[in-house]
Amino acid sequence: MGFLVIFIQKVIGQGIGILYGALGEILTEKSGNLNLGIPGMMYMGGIAGLIGAFLYENSAAQPNGLVGVIISFLCAFLCAALGGLVYSILTITLRANQNVTGLALTTFGVGFGNFFGGSLSKLAGGVGQISVAVTGAAFKTPVPGLSKLGAIGQAFFSYGFLTYLAIILAILLSFFLNKTRKGLNLRAVGESPSTADAAGIHVTAYRYLATCIGGGLSGLGGLYFVMEYSGGTWTNNGFGDRGWLAIALVIFALWKPVNAIWGSLLFGGLYILYLYIPGLSRSTQEIFKALPYIVTIVVLIITSLRKEREHQPPASLGRAYFREER
């Protein structure tokens, strides 16, 4: 039982950050924008949240954990949303190629995080000396009472609020996309922007908002890895390929937020599976790390063969919209 609890904890720890990135990308892609800059914006959100908490704790005589959480949360969301704004200006207003812009944003975001992470480490006195103990402890505070319910409590209720917030956001995003008029308008923009425009829907506004808010959500994934998963520390290139796993999860989940919840847990389990199989060589471990991508390719092939419209990406995904002059 102890081994199973530890494995579940590791799976959830790996999956939640990926879930945040996937939710941000689902919202973005539903508007017709293909943002491959999600990995970079996760780095931007992670380092911005850490810097905000660090500056607050070092300026306050008696730092408060709740205040530190609010500051780091806002810094992470806004910084990553700013990355989404840059992407939007380039691809929506200036009509730059979405694939190239997204890849450039990922390169920039990773460099941004590593540069300021290294600078913050030097400012703090060296690698591993960044101290955000108060804020980090607040992020890791488990659900009161429920976390002490034996194995069940340890497996499912021993996490900080960001873990449960990700699941709540996935459910809310699903409700928004499927049960509200604004969500229907957003999906219409992603499917046929010209038709949505003719119906009086402001295509540009919807795409800007979806991309910026989606970027902010992905930034919370970076904040999760820095604060809750890593305990308030920064390691250059520490997110690995989790940002790309988030994009793969969007395809695996068939652009459905609720599917992304259990899909993120599956990806988290597959990502660390090699650690629990003894005797694997280095090359074999890398093959096991690729399992989430292999599963995604299989799902993509199956859904493509079935040709079911609800299992396909938005029809205008990756295409700039050129409004016809009347």
Q: Evaluate if residue 1 carries a pLDDT over 70.
A: no
**262-272 mean pLDDT:** 91
Does some domain include residue 325?
A: no
Helix (H, G, I), strand (E, B) or coil at 70: helix
**154-183 mean pLDDT:** 95
CB neighbourhood size of 315 (10 A): 12
Are the beta carbons of 20 and 267 closer than 8 angstroms?
Answer: no
Q: Which domain holds residue 93?
A: 3-311
Q: Cα(48)–Cα(222) distance, rounded to whole angstroms? A: 9
pLDDT at site 143:
81
Are the beta carbons of 247 and 267 closer than 8 angstroms?
Answer: no
81: CATH:
1.10.3470
pLDDT at site 309:
67
Does some domain include residue 36?
A: yes
**71-94 mean pLDDT:** 96
Give the length of the chain: 326
The token pair at 57 is: 């704790």
Helix (H, G, I), strand (E, B) or coil at 325: coil
Domain tally, the chain: 1
Does some domain include residue 322?
A: no
pLDDT at site 17:
95
**12-16 mean pLDDT:** 94
Does some domain include residue 306?
A: yes
Q: Could you tell me the end-to-end alpha-carbon distance of the chain, in angstroms, rounded to an integer? A: 68
Range with lowest mean pLDDT among 159-163, 240-244, 274-278, 317-321: 274-278
Confidence of residue 81 (pLDDT cuts 50, 70, 90): very high
pLDDT at site 325:
47
CB neighbourhood size of 153 (10 A): 16
Task: Write out pLDDT tens, residues 279-294.
Answer: 778 778 888 888 888 8
Q: Evaluate if residue 166 carries a pLDDT over 50.
A: yes
pLDDT at site 48:
96
Task: Write out pLDDT tens, residues 38-80.
Answer: 999 999 999 999 999 999 998 888 889 999 999 999 999 999 9
Q: Cα(47)–Cα(111) distance, rounded to whole angstroms? A: 11
pLDDT at site 176:
98
C-alpha distances (whole Å) from 248 to each of 28, 60, 124, 237, 300 are 14, 41, 36, 19, 10
Does some domain include residue 316?
A: no
Does some domain include residue 324?
A: no
Give the ranges where the chain is alpha helix by DSSP (H). 2-30, 38-59, 65-88, 98-124, 133-139, 150-156, 161-179, 181-191, 193-198, 203-223, 242-252, 257-272, 282-289, 291-306
124: Cα separation from own chain's centroid: 27
Does some domain include residue 103?
A: yes
